[in-house]
Amino acid sequence: MRLSSRTILQLALMICGDEPYTGIFPYRSSSYITAFFTNINLPYVHDGTTRKWWVESTLKELNEKSSEDPKELPSKEILTVIQAVIDPVEFASGNSNFDKALDRINTLLKPEALTVKVDEETGKVDIFSVQGLISSNDSELQVITKAIAIFPEVFKTPTIDIEKNKIAVIMPFESKFDNVYHTIYETAKSLDLNCNRSDNIWKNSEIIQDIFELIYSSKIVIADITGKNPNVFYELGIAHTLGRKVIPISQNMADVPFDIQHHRILIYLDNDEGRADLQKLLTSRLKTLKE
């Protein structure tokens, strides 16, 4: 496959670190653009012309090269470029924002039926073709997915709708988490989002039904897995099964089991400074999901 002209141009702007990606992707001057390509064994030297147009022209050339998987993936040269653009090492200087960069590049590649995933421990960048995506014409994309009919016996399926501005918070029912919940609540409120946790609800006679309905009706779920609380993991499984957007948080990476280590976990300290940092991280992530 070949990437669209729009994707190629936006990818060029990301490589340059130019608007609208200033402060998100690293800025690269002429010599650093040359280094970007030579470091991935692509012998291209910037000729001194306008950076973004030169990079776009170079990417167009790479885009025309043969692909090992012509139906699903671009050329291996383009794949190498994408991997280098989002390489965590490139963001080590602190003059860019890796989380926003990953969101931006995945948003860009979504119409191409591609997605980028980065292993947090190794920094390895993988690019996948999104299965089941077909193009009916140049302006319309149709996604074919396999639907799963769920008929739970433990819960009653609610008749309520999903609320796009609603957040479910799942965490241990312990007073020591009240300050953390307050931080999440105030963060959501600042973004015109509504959040709640099940111990604040008494609608049904069974608490598990209140929990299920809260998760069911929320677009986003924030799960605090600190302490490996079994109830939290039970509810987290419900959220994943229902296809909700989940933001896992924890005070300790050691509390993150292997099964969910491939998710991006927001680690925080439970003190004033740590909760302030958590608020910043949640604000950035919730803004992205809200958009």
Nearest to 10 by CA among 83, 77, 107: 107
Cβ count near 107 (within 10 Å): 12
On the CB side of 259, CA atoms within 13 Å amount to 6
User: Mean pLDDT, 10 residues at a time, over the chain (291 residues)?
Assistant: 91 94 91 92 92 94 75 82 88 78 90 82 77 36 47 77 90 90 94 86 75 91 93 92 90 85 85 93 88 70
Q: Tokens at residue 117, please? A: 């995933």
User: Does the CA dihedral 127-132-138-140 come out positive or negative?
Assistant: negative
Residue 143 confidence (pLDDT):
40
Residue 6 φ/ψ, nearest 5 degrees? -65, -45
Strand, coil or helix: what is 195? strand
Domains located in the chain, CATH noted: 5-143 (no CATH), 163-290 (3.40.50.450)
Residue 145 confidence (pLDDT):
43
The full length of the chain comes to 291
Determine the Cα–Cα distance for residues 34 and 55; give it in Å rounded to an integer.
Answer: 10
Residue 124 confidence (pLDDT):
82
